[in-house]
Amino acid sequence: MAATIECPNRQVNLEMCPCPKTDCERRGICCLCAAFHVGKGQKSNCMRGTERPAATRSLKGIAKEKCGRYKANLEVCPCDYEPCQNRGTCCDCVRNHWGNATYPMLACMRA
């Protein structure tokens, strides 16, 4: 696989990632993980009903200006909620929706 990219959020993402495939190079890179699973008509592990550990709820990512994939992610993000502050920063979107009883699913995985 040649999917690995530099992700400034990867370390904090790995602290909360429930994916059991520890050798997957997309693990901890939410934008690549989401794109991979959406492309296969699947949901990522965190969106399949896996309970989110309470200790991960306060984890914060980096500013979107530092995300090298922000513009590319924004172009494919189907979220139509205008006030959303997480569009284009997939890991922040995952942190916002995973374990959120009111809005439990990423827009890209609502199929």
DSSP state of 101: S
Q: What is the CA radius of gyration of the chain?
A: 13
Domain boundaries, the chain: 10-109
Question: In 3D, which of 45, 42, 49, 30 has the Cα closest to residue 104?
Answer: 49
Decide if pLDDT at 2 tops 70: no
Residue 65's Cβ-side half-sphere holds a number of Cα atoms within 13 Å equal to 0
pLDDT tens by residue, 8-60: 889 889 999 999 999 999 999 999 999 999 999 999 999 998 899 888 888 88
Q: What is the pLDDT of residue 1?
A: 44
| Residue 70 pLDDT class (50, 70, 90 cuts) | confident
